[in-house]
Amino acid sequence: MMRAGRPAVLMKLDWNELGTPRADRADGEWVEISGFATTLLPATKSAYFHLTAEPGCCPGCVPANPLAVIEVFAKRPIDLPLGSLRLRGRLAVCDDELGWRYQLKGAERKGWTRRRLLRATPLIALPMPALAQPMDGLAVDMHSHAGNVIDASFGRGSFSPVAEPMRQGSVSAICLAIVADALIIQRMDGRLRPIRSPAFGEVYRYSQVAFAKLHALAGEQRMPLLRTAADLRGAHSSVPSIIVASEGADFLEGKIERLAEAYQRWALRHLQLTHFTPNALGDIQTEPAVNGGLTAFGAEVVRQCNQMGIVVDVAHGTYELVKKVAAATRKPLVLSHTSLTEQPRAWTRLITPDHAKAVASTGGVIGIWPNLEFFSNYKAFADGFARMVDVVGIDHVGLGTDQLGIFAGSTMPSYANLSQLVAALGARYTPEETAKLLGGNYRRVFEASLS
């Protein structure tokens, strides 16, 4: 029996809990959950759709696993974003073998519109041009998978819009990343983990396909690839641009000459050393350490990146790895997407103050990611920036959205929404400081790395 009324505090439901007693006991309760909408036919608004933990490859494509899908019946048609959305409604646990086990009845989209943000925070005095045109079109995202480039690399689905949302949000450039170990990772135990060791050459061949797909997206959406510091200096949201990146250097497979190949053939200019698989370069935060931090090959890759002009990204690396990369590099480092914690949990992707200071000591930048697990709205997201600024200073913090890469859902699912973050940051910082946080600091590191 569905209970009437709405409690003051909603039960937050995680996808990993579906199928557990906690979720089943919530039958009839008001819950809140984030996910990606899938409709039977292409639609921008709907009152009926399926919610999944990960974005689908195409309209109508829904996982067969009943514990990976929630059937949504909305109170009224809901605008369906390109990224994740957060919903609240009454959970129904069904026994119908022909239907989905979980339904969300009377669902409403939960989030902060610009009007609600202005009501809730002291931003009403901000001039509207500051909201409409953040950073004069110069913002830079240090880490993104926008455009469905990951699924497209597996032959699943077409590209989704990237350039137009960037123009709407005044974002000039994004570091668009392939995922080097995508073939061999899978979600287990609440996190992505390696499921097997690849055959030699397998990851390299996949990376060639993925880089080619990234280039195809750039051509299809008329987005220039940035190859030099001068290119980024001239970049503006009127012509949104791409910095080619790789999340993980697994495709090198111990062959340093492949770094030059990626630089020349694919315009690679931003390299994250590790991802979710311990590789030949070093250790990662989400698996047991086996390399003592950074390997000798990893140090060689860092030196070659410095020499060629490739930004070195230490996201996902352990604190020991970061300290050793900081000692090896001659250029500033980037840790592109994370946030701060004083009490790290096991296998966390967050970093401690000392971890952050090791990156900042090189002149580098730490990117704050809009993970809904940690930041429920734009004010909270801005608070995440502020906490990192308090630790490392205004010159060492940036934006790393990890767009289409956050399983918990994103506080900022579209670049078109950047103005809301600008407004929230504007309550704390001057326009000049906000400009540093949303692009200026990364521009400095990019120029130093490519000089």
Residues 40-62: what's their mean pLDDT? Answer: 70
Q: What is the pLDDT of residues 196-228, one digit of tens each?
A: 999 999 999 999 999 999 999 999 999 999 999
Q: Does 172 map to a domain?
A: yes
CATH of the domain at 53: 2.40.50.870
Residues 278-296: what's their mean pLDDT? Answer: 96
The verdict on 281 and 189 lying in the same domain is yes
Q: Are 93 and 27 in contact (CB under 8 A)?
A: yes
Q: Does 175 map to a domain?
A: yes
Q: Does 66 map to a domain?
A: yes
The verdict on 303 and 249 lying in the same domain is yes
Q: Does 3 map to a domain?
A: no
Q: Does 22 map to a domain?
A: yes
What is the pTM assigned to this prediction? 0.73
Q: What is the pLDDT of residues 395-422, one digit of tens each?
A: 999 999 999 998 888 999 899 999 999 9
The verdict on 405 and 439 lying in the same domain is yes
Residues 180-184: what's their mean pLDDT? Answer: 92
Q: What is the pLDDT of residue 58?
A: 53
Domain that residue 92 falls in:
11-109
- 354 C-beta neighbours (distance < 10 Å), count: 11
Poorest-pLDDT segment among 17-31, 162-176, 241-255? 17-31
Q: Are 91 and 26 in contact (CB under 8 A)?
A: yes
Place 63 in a pLDDT band, splitting at 50, 70 and 90: low
The verdict on 47 and 135 lying in the same domain is no
Q: Does 385 map to a domain?
A: yes
Token couple for 277: 């698989």
The verdict on 184 and 45 lying in the same domain is no
The verdict on 185 and 98 lying in the same domain is no
- 143 C-beta neighbours (distance < 10 Å), count: 28
The verdict on 98 and 123 lying in the same domain is no
The verdict on 294 and 429 lying in the same domain is yes
Q: Which of 75, 109, 143 is the last residue of a domain?
A: 109
The verdict on 269 and 414 lying in the same domain is yes
Q: What is the pLDDT of residue 276?
A: 94
Poorest-pLDDT segment among 126-140, 419-433, 435-449? 126-140
Q: What is the pLDDT of residue 69?
A: 87
CATH of the domain at 188: 3.20.20.140
Q: Which of 74, 89, 109 is the last residue of a domain?
A: 109
Poorest-pLDDT segment among 47-51, 111-115, 380-384? 111-115
The verdict on 150 and 95 lying in the same domain is no
The verdict on 143 and 43 lying in the same domain is no
Q: Does 4 map to a domain?
A: no
Q: Tokens 């090959």 identify what position?
A: 297
By percentage, how much of the chain surpasses pLDDT 70?
87
Number of domains in the chain: 2
Q: Does 321 map to a domain?
A: yes
d(CA 307, CA 284): 25
Q: What is the pLDDT of residue 114?
A: 42
Q: What is the pLDDT of residue 61?
A: 63
Residues 351-358: what's their mean pLDDT? Answer: 98
Q: Which of 84, 109, 134 is the last residue of a domain?
A: 109
The verdict on 255 and 403 lying in the same domain is yes
